[in-house]
Homo-oligomer: A and B are copies of this chain.
Amino acid sequence: MSFWIGVDVGGTNIVCGIVDEKGEVLDSIKKPTQAFLGTSSVLDHMAQMVSEVTARAGLSGKVAGIGIGIPGLVNPWDGIALYSANLNWRDVPLSTELSRRTSLPVYIDNDVRMYVYGEAVYGAGLGVDYVLGLTVGTGIASAMVSQGQLYYGYRDLAGEIGHGTMDGESAPCGCGFDGCLEAAASASGMVREAKRFIAEGKPTLLSQWFPGDDLQRLSAADISKAMDAGDSLASDIMNHAGELLGKALVPAVHILSPQVIIIGGGGAMAGERLLTPLRQTLMSRLLPDFRQHVTIKTAVLGDDAGVIGSAMQAKQRHEIKQS
C-alpha cells in the first residue's frame, strides 16, 4: 500500500491530507494560508503541514509523493504556479521548491481541476466514465474527466465556462466583459447582484437584515435564507442564476457529452434552490439523446475533494512517469 499527500491551497486556508491508494483520506489538517507572509514562508508552512500530517498518521517514510491544487493559472507539466491573484504569486517553481523541502516528488495543478478530478473519480462521479464538473463559488469554472483522464486543452486553458457575454445579460464581470455567467450566477456574483438591486431601492428582507454598512457582510447563504423566508428579490436572483447556469451548460453538454454533471463549490450549498431552475432550463434545451442520458448531481466530498483529487492525480502522473 502506498500513501499520497494532497494539498488544497486556497486564498484563506490550506488543507493538507494523507490519502491511501484507494482515495480514502486517513487524516487531514487545515491552517490559514497567510499569503501576506510571502511565498517562501507559505512553502515552509506547507512542508511543515506535510510532515505533521504524515507523522500524525504514523506513516513517516511511507509517502510516495505530493499533489497540490493551486488557484489560478498553472503549468502542471513544469510544476510552475504561473499566476494566482488570491496568493499574489507569479511564476513560482512550486514543484521544485516543495520537493527540495520534503524530498518527495511533487505534482501541481489547478485547484478546480483537482477538485473535479476528486469528485469525478472518487466522489459523485464514482464509476462513471464521462463526468463534467462545475464549481460555483467565488468564480465559476469547470473541468471534464473522460475515462479517468482530465481534459486540458491548449495551454491547459480548457473549462472556462464562466465567461463570455450571454444575450440579454448586463451584470459587469471581473473579466472585463458584461453579462458573463460568473457575474450573475457565482456566489459572489449573486451577492453583487443583490447589492446592486438594494442600491436601486428594490424592496427585500436583505436590506432589513443588513442595514447600512452591514451590507458588506451579506453572503450567498443569506440569499438562500431570504429565499426560504419568502423574499421575492432573493428568489429572483437565485432563479436567474440557476437558469443562466442551465443555459450555459447546454453547449457544454452538446459538445462534451458527459454522463454525469457534478455541481460543486460553495454555491452548491444552495442545493435545490439553484438546481431546480438549472435542471429545468438545461433539460428543456438539450437534444433528446443527451436529455435521456445525462444526470445532474451535487458534489459529495466537501473539503476532501481537492485533497483526494490532488493526491490521486499525483499518483496517476507519477505512475505514468515511472512506466
Show the binding face of A for B, using Cβ within 8 Å.
129-130, 142, 144, 146, 151-161, 163-168, 175, 177, 248, 250-252, 254-259, 285-287, 289-290, 293-294
B151 touches A129 (CB 8 A): no
Cα–Cα distance between A259 and B158 once the two chains are bound (Å): 11
Contact among B129, B153, B248 for A257, CB-based, below 8 A: B153
Extra 8 A-B pairs, beta carbons < 8 Å, given A153-B256, A154-B257, A154-B259: A144-B255, A155-B293, A159-B254, A160-B257, A164-B250, A175-B287, A251-B255, A252-B255
B168 touches A167 (CB 8 A): yes
Cα–Cα distance between A65 and B290 once the two chains are bound (Å): 33
Residues of B within 8 A of A165 (CB): 285
B290 touches A257 (CB 8 A): no
Could you say how many copies of this chain the assembly holds? 2
B164 touches A285 (CB 8 A): yes
Closest to A292 in B: B155
**9 closest Cβ pairs, A-B complex:** A153-B257, A167-B167, A130-B154, A157-B257, A160-B254, A154-B259, A251-B251, A158-B257, A164-B250
CB distance from A160 to the nearest CB of B (A): 4
Cα–Cα distance between A252 and B252 once the two chains are bound (Å): 7
CB distance from A131 to the nearest CB of B (A): 9
CB distance from A75 to the nearest CB of B (A): 13
Closest to A129 in B: B154
Cα–Cα distance between A153 and B267 once the two chains are bound (Å): 27
Cα–Cα distance between A164 and B251 once the two chains are bound (Å): 8
B255 touches A164 (CB 8 A): no
CB distance from A281 to the nearest CB of B (A): 11
Closest to A167 in B: B167
Cα–Cα distance between A155 and B256 once the two chains are bound (Å): 11
Closest to A285 in B: B164
A157-B290, A177-B285, A285-B177 known; A254-B164 Cβ under 8 A: yes
Cα–Cα distance between A290 and B153 once the two chains are bound (Å): 11
A251-B248, A252-B251 known; A286-B164 Cβ under 8 A: yes
B255 touches A256 (CB 8 A): yes
Residues of B within 8 A of A155 (CB): 257, 289, 293
CB distance from A284 to the nearest CB of B (A): 9
Cα–Cα distance between A167 and B169 once the two chains are bound (Å): 11
Contact among B142, B175, B177, B287 for A255, CB-based, below 8 A: B142
> Could you pull out 9 A-B pairs where Cβ atoms are within 8 angstroms?
A142-B255, A146-B151, A151-B256, A153-B256, A154-B257, A155-B257, A159-B255, A161-B251, A255-B256
Closest to A131 in B: B154
Cα–Cα distance between A130 and B129 once the two chains are bound (Å): 22
B287 touches A164 (CB 8 A): yes
Closest to A169 in B: B167
Closest to A294 in B: B154
CB distance from A250 to the nearest CB of B (A): 5
Residues of B within 8 A of A254 (CB): 159-161, 163-164
CB distance from A135 to the nearest CB of B (A): 14
